[in-house]
Structure 1
Amino acid sequence: MAGINRALSLNESRAKINFSTSVKCVFISHQKDDTIYCKKIANYLMDAGIDVYFDEFDSDLKFYRQTNNPNGIVLSIKKGINMSSHMLCVISPKTLYSKWVPWEIGYGHESTIQGAITIKGIKDEDLPDYLKTTNMLRGTKSLNNFIQNLTGQSEYILENYNLIKKHTTLSHPLDDVLDWNQ
């Protein structure tokens, strides 16, 4: 069964059920300009059967951003993190200058299992120190390992049920986002 985006209001009742039954959920922390890449990562996780909290469809958050309401933005972000068991910070050159991503990581530090994933071209020396202390995913291969650990399923099972694609697959859905061999 595919995972859901808990930020989508249509999924609200299922999100509450999944949360109350401890279904794992990954909060996608990202810089707004990277939404196109993050959406692909979120979809890949949902295809693997993992719930995500990806704010693209959080109508409250959109309203608070449009009305320039920082308190409302903070409440929406807290709600998303509190509904999640894990956090995955998507690192791009733009993320390095984000004002909200460090705040999200700090807020979720005690309540979520944290990790970070780098977009193509990010070098180790570009990473901020606060991310060097977390589980670092450097490409498709390590994302697949993260999914295996999260689901408790073997790579063989996940691949045979088409929940993930082997990192060496031609035309992998994340080829334009992540390095494949890491």
Structure 2
Amino acid sequence: MNGIKIFLSHKNEDSEVAGAIAFRLQQHHQIPVYLDVIDRNLDKTGPDLADYIRGEMEKCTQLLAVISAKTRESQWVPWEIGVATEKERPLASFINPPAAIPEFLRKWPYLQSQQDVDRYAMVSKSTRLLQENTLRKSTASVAQRTAFREFYTTLKAQLGQR
């Protein structure tokens, strides 16, 4: 696995589009997706449902929101976008025509075709790889500095030096 898992946020009326995106990401790009239409645990309500969804979002590394004319009626899509923003997860939108991208979502990338989904997948993979490599190097660097400090502190103590 490549360390990516996408939370696919959508209104029920956009389930078909969300399903097509999930299929493309999983089958063509081997990127796991959380899609609630295949989740049998969504019989919860109110705060329990919100806690459950937040838990599922916690297992994901980024969020892709399907935006359509019906999204304005959704309470969950804006909430999920807010949670992803709060958790500093990479965020993008897929615009399902005839919808237009809302002004507040223009600060993040938005997709308009399956080819854009392919680009999104490729960038997600390369960015995740870069992040993992940087983290590895950063951790190694921190570990190296800690070891050096310990070496100098211990040696100076052994030599009676401050």
Normalising by structure 1, we get a TM-score of 0.63
Q: Does residue 36 of structure 2 align to residue 60 of structure 1?
A: no
Aligned length: 125
Q: Which residue of 1 aligns with 2:18?
A: 38
Q: Which has the larger radius of gyration?
A: 2
Q: Which amino acid in structure 1 is aligned with residue 99 of structure 2? A: I
Q: 1:77 deviation in Å?
A: 1.1
Correspondences of 1:4-153 after superposition (within 5 Å): 23-47=3-27, 48-61=29-42, 63-64=43-44, 69-111=45-87, 112-123=89-100, 127-152=101-126
Are the aligned partners of 1:28 and 1:87 in contact in 2 as well (CA < 8 Å)?
A: yes
Are the aligned partners of 1:27 and 1:53 in contact in 2 as well (CA < 8 Å)?
A: yes
Unpaired stretches in structure 2, ≥5 consecutive residues: 128-162
Structure having the higher helix fraction is 2
Task: Give the percent of matched residue pairs that are identical in Structure 1 and Structure 2.
Answer: 26
CA RMSD of aligned residues (A): 1.8
CA–CA separation in structure 2 for the residues paired with 1:128 and 1:121: 12
Q: Which amino acid in structure 1 is aligned with residue 90 of structure 2? A: I
Question: After TM superposition, what 4+ stretches of structure 1 lie above 6 angstroms from structure 2?
Answer: none
Unpaired stretches in structure 1, ≥5 consecutive residues: 1-17, 154-182
Q: 1:32 deviation in Å?
A: 1.3
Are the aligned partners of 2:8 and 2:65 in contact in 1 as well (CA < 8 Å)?
A: yes
CA–CA separation in structure 1 for the residues paired with 2:20 and 2:116: 16
Note the alpha carbon deviations across 1:46-88, whole angstroms, 9 max, x for none.
0110011111122222x11xxxx21111012101110110100
Q: 1:97 deviation in Å?
A: 2.1
CA–CA separation in structure 1 for the residues paired with 2:103 and 2:97: 19
Q: 1:132 deviation in Å?
A: 1.5
